[in-house]
C-alpha cells in the first residue's frame, strides 16, 4: 500500500535529481548516479535569464502563491460573513447554499470555462491574476460557507446572546467570539481553498496566456508539451508543486482529514 502510493512520487524525485545525460543510469539502477540540485538552484536563484525555463517556473510559482493566498483570504472573509448571516441573522439561504455546493461538485469545470471565457473576454479580463482569483473564490465559496455555517451552528448561543445584551454589535460578536471559537473550521477550510487554487488547471489553461498570470500547473503542462522534453527540469517543477500539499499533509493532517470527511458526509 505504501509502495503503491509512494513509488510514483519517488520516481519523480529521482528524475529531478538526475543529470539529463545520466537518466539511463537512473532508470537502470532506480537511483541517480550523481545527485544534482542544479534544477532547484536554477529555479530559486536569479542566475538564469528571463528567457529560460527556470525563469518561467519561478514567475509562475510566484503567481500561483499569490493567487492561492489572495483567494483563500477573500473566501474566508466573504465566507464567514455569509455563514454568520445564515446561521445567526436568519437569512434563509441554507438550502440554496447546499444546492450550490452540490452544483459546484457536479459540474465539470470545462462546462463553466466556455461561458466564463466569453464573459471575461468581453470585459477585457483575460490573462489577469484577478480573474483567476475571482473564479477560484466563486468555486470555493459555497463549500466554505457550508463548512463554516455547520460549525457556527454547533457553537453555544448563550455567550453570543450575553454579549449582545451587554451592547456588542453583531460584527463585534462575529469578530471577537464566533471566529476565535471557530479556528479549526476556518483553518481546515482555508487549507482546502488554498490547495484547490494551487492545483487548479483547466480554467487557468484557458484564461491565461502569458507570464503575467500563468500558474505553475500551466507552466508545467506547457513544458510537457514541448518536442524535446527536459525531464529532470520538468520533474523538479513537479516536485516543487508538491511542496504545499506535502507540508499540509505533514503539519496539518488532522484538519485535512476532518475537512475531507465533513465536506462529504452530510455536514
Partner 1 sequence: MEKKKKRLGYVLITPAILIMVFVLIFPLVYAFYLSFFDVKLGRTIKLDFVGLSNYLDVFKNLEWWKSFLNTIYFVLADVLIGIPLGFMFALALNKKLPLKPLILGIVMFPYILPPIVHGLIWKLIYNPDYGFLNATLLNLRLIDQPIYWLVNTKLALPALIIANIWQGTPYAAIIYLGGLQSIPTELYEAARIDGATKSGLLKYITIPLLKPYTILLFVMKTIMTFKIFDIVYAMTGGGPAGTTKVVSYEIYHTAFEAFKFGKASAMSYILLGIVAIIVFIYQKIFGEETSIL
Number of Cβ atoms within 10 Å of the Cβ of 198:
23
Nearer to partner 1 by Cβ, of 58 and 219: the residue is 219
Smallest separation (angstroms) from partner 1 to the CB of 55 = 20
Smallest separation (angstroms) from partner 1 to the CB of 74 = 8
Q: DSSP character for 88? A: T
Smallest separation (angstroms) from partner 1 to the CB of 118 = 7
Nearer to partner 1 by Cβ, of 50 and 107: the residue is 107
Nearer to partner 1 by Cβ, of 49 and 122: the residue is 122
Residue reference for cell 491574476: 129
Smallest separation (angstroms) from partner 1 to the CB of 98 = 9
Nearer to partner 1 by Cβ, of 5 and 210: the residue is 5
Smallest separation (angstroms) from partner 1 to the CB of 266 = 5
Q: DSSP character for 22? A: G
Rounded to 5°, the CA angle 60-61-64 comes to 85
Q: Which long-range contacts (CB under 8 A, 24 or more apart) does 98-103 make?
A: 98/146, 100/142, 101/142, 101/143, 101/146, 103/142
Smallest separation (angstroms) from partner 1 to the CB of 120 = 9
Residues 6+ positions from 194 with CB-CB distance below 8 Å:
68, 69, 71, 72, 244
203 with 113: CB under 8 angstroms? yes
Nearer to partner 1 by Cβ, of 7 and 50: the residue is 7
b/e burial code for range 155-172 (CB count within 10 A of at least 16 → b)? beeeebeebeeeebeeee
Nearer to partner 1 by Cβ, of 42 and 136: the residue is 136
Amino acid at each position: 500500500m505504501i509502495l503503491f502510493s509512494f513509488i510514483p512520487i519517488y520516481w519523480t524525485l529521482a528524475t529531478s535529481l538526475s543529470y539529463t545525460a545520466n537518466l539511463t543510469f537512473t532508470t537502470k539502477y532506480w537511483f541517480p548516479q550523481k545527485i544534482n540540485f542544479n534544477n532547484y538552484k536554477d529555479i530559486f536563484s536569479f542566475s538564469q535569464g528571463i528567457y529560460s525555463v527556470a525563469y518561467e517556473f519561478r514567475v509562475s510559482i510566484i503567481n500561483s502563491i499569490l493567487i492561492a493566498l489572495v483567494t483563500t483570504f477573500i473566501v474566508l472573509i466573504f465566507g464567514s460573513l455569509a455563514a454568520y448571516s445564515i446561521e445567526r441573522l436568519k437569512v434563509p439561504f441554507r438550502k440554496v447554499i447546499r444546492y450550490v455546493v452540490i452544483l459546484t461538485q457536479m459540474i465539470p469545470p470545462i462546462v463553466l470555462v466556455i461561458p466564463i471565457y466569453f464573459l471575461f473576454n468581453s470585459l477585457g479580463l483575460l490573462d489577469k491574476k484577478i480573474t483567476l482569483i475571482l473564479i477560484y473564490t466563486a468555486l470555493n465559496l459555497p463549500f466554505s460557507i457550508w463548512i463554516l455555517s455547520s460549525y457556527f451552528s454547533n457553537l453555544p448561543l448563550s455567550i453570543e446572546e450575553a454579549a449582545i445584551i451587554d451592547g456588542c454589535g453583531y460584527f463585534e460578536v462575529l469578530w471577537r467570539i464566533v471566529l476565535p471559537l471557530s479556528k479549526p473550521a476556518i483553518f481546515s477550510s482555508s487549507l482546502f481553498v488554498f490547495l484547490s487554487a494551487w492545483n487548479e488547471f483547466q480554467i487557468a489553461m484557458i484564461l491565461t496566456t502569458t507570464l503575467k498570470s500563468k500558474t505553475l500547473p500551466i507552466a508545467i503542462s506547457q513544458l510537457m508539451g514541448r518536442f524535446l522534453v527536459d525531464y529532470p527540469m520538468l520533474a523538479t517543477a513537479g516536485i516543487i508543486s508538491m511542496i504545499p500539499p506535502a507540508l499540509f499533509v505533514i503539519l496539518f493532517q488532522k484538519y485535512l482529514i476532518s475537512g475531507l470527511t465533513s465536506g462529504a458526509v452530510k455536514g
